[in-house]
Structure 1
Amino acid sequence: MANETDARLGILMLDTRFPRILGDVGHAGSWDFPVRYAVVPGATPEAIVCDDIDPFVQAFIAVGRDLIAEGCTGIATTCGFLALIRPRLAEALGVPVAASALEQAGQIAACLPPGQRVGILTISAATLSPAHLRAAGVPEGSPVVGMEGSGLARTILGNLPDLDVAQARAEMVQAAQQLVETHADVGAILLECTNMVPYAPDIAAATGRPVHSIHNYLNWFHSGLLPPRFG
């Protein structure tokens, strides 16, 4: 695989210390292509998910410009809640920006059979506002289940240095089962949080639904940054 100097995709990282396990967007081994990472200082998970994002917009733009200066031709982020500022990032940076897994929701919904909906799992349903969903183009009425009270949410939002992976996997499966049991018309599951990706296979196996995440979104996004193979 090519090294970081060949990266087309630049990823704006939150300021975190929790473990980035394989599958997480922040683990370089999660990708079959080179990526370049840069941390936005002070942009902790709690600040972005639970507080006001606006004070951090200029910091995201500044770090994004650094990535572009280093050769990146597309920018992504590591938090689904950043859908709220994607238009401002794209305008300021002048390159394609994929800010949130939620931005796939409309396309996923369009592929489902009539009568089925996209269901969303989020790290915090309490703070995933209608404004976030509108900014990402999530179809109105899409059911949402949050991870409030879970060990995974405590680790991510608390920015803790240790993660009980087995516990997180069980919590994610339980939340996904709750989603499809409460909303039988959910035909596909979308993971808002970039840290949920490692548990996607378990969720798919437990629910029998296709599972979408930032991982498949950025694989698609990255392919558009490369020269076409055919044509």
Structure 2
Amino acid sequence: MQSHASPPLGFLAVQVDIHRPPGDPFNPQTWPFPLLHELIPGSPESQIVSKDPYPPSFLDSAVAAGKKLAERGARGIITSCGFLVLAQKELASRIGIPVATSALIQIPSILAILPPGKVVGVLTYDAERLGAAHLQAVDVDPERIRIRGMSVHGHLRAVIQKGVTYDEVLMGKEMVDGAVALVDECRARGEEIGALVLECTQMPPYAEAIQKRVQVPVYDVYSMGLWFYSGLVRQNPAAWTSFG
């Protein structure tokens, strides 16, 4: 349950008009704290899901939207697409409050807690466009990362690109099958995945089902957002005894 006395988290939204169930970071029901939205103008899927640097005009629009969130009282900002990690350093340096653009920013910490012989798997919306540039944006060595994308002809792509009606069963099956395939591909090469990171912000509703099938730690924008907010707004649990 949200505590509406708590300061809000800011959310930079992109122009992708789809069903967003609880678990999707756009949905206020996802979070145990208030959420404020601002739209980044000129941010369709074709603009955001990119392997190339974002143009200055887009970055300026994102910064302006982020500053609006700060003016409205947001303590920090997350976004609605993991590909925006390409803008992490730019947005963090210009907006003026902490910014966490992508689930991918968790990877350095995940690598630090895994045995050296294990790799991190990344399940992404589009493996052809997610690559070394996105990992380097958060100072990650691609050598320990294994990436798998969702099917070009799958339900997720159809929902986002073609406006097909969202089907929870189809979406869940596609996510779980993708994670299983990634783990199996690595095992076939003699590699062991120590953890999965779900890049796409549509994936968190299925993180539990994914973990039950692949039996490894699973991180996503939800796990990132909880960690991020816990430092922005420290709130001692009621069960803690007070000092003095």
Q: CA shift at 1:173, angstroms?
A: 0.9
Cα 1:72–1:161 shift into 2, 3 Å: farther
Task: Give ranges in structure 1 of 5+ residues lacking alignment.
Answer: none
- Equivalent of 1:152 in 149, 153, 156: 156
| Contact 1:18–1:159 under 8 Å retained in 2 | no
What pairs up with 1:104-183 in 2 under 5 angstroms? 104-141=106-143, 142-149=145-152, 150-156=154-160, 158=161, 160=163, 162-183=165-186
Matched, 1:212 2:235: no
Question: Retained in 2: the 8 A contact 1:121–1:192?
Answer: yes
State the alpha-carbon separation in 1 of the partners of residues 94 and 205 from structure 2: 32
131-140 or 187-196: which moved more?
131-140
1:117-172 Cα offsets, whole Å, 9 max, x none, are 1100000000013111110233322100001321112212x162621111111111
Whole-angstrom distance in 2 between the partners of 1:51 and 1:112: 28
Are 2:12 and 1:12 equivalent residues in the alignment?
Answer: yes
Q: What's the offset of the Cα at 1:17?
A: 1.1
- Give the drift of 1:182: 0.8
Q: What is the aligned-residue identity percentage?
A: 36
In structure 2, do the counterparts of structure 1 residues 7 and 82 end up closer, same or farther at CA, with 3 Å as the change threshold? same
Distance 1:99 1:159, change over 3 A: farther
Counterpart Cα distance in 2 of 1:97 and 1:159: 30
| 1:62-141 pair list within 5 angstroms | 62-141=64-143
When the two structures are superposed, what TM-score results if normalisation uses the length of structure 2?
0.88
Return the alpha-carbon distance in structure 2 between the equivalents of residues 114 and 148 of structure 1.
Answer: 30
Structure 2 distance, partners of 1:187, 1:76, is: 25
Within the candidate set 189, 202, 205, 2:196 is matched to: 189
Alignment check: 8 A CA contact 1:8 1:222 kept: no
Distance 1:143 1:7 in 2: 37
Runs of 4+ aligned residues of structure 1 deviating over 4 Å after TM superposition are: none
> Helix, strand or coil for the counterpart of 2:105?
helix
State the one-letter code of the partner of 2:158: R
CA contact (8 A) 1:15 1:41 kept: yes
CA contact (8 A) 1:117 1:187 kept: yes
Pairs aligned (count): 229
| Structure with max Cα Rg | 2
Is contact 1:44-1:159 (8 Å) kept?
A: no
**Which stretches in structure 2 are left out of the alignment for 5+ residues?**
none
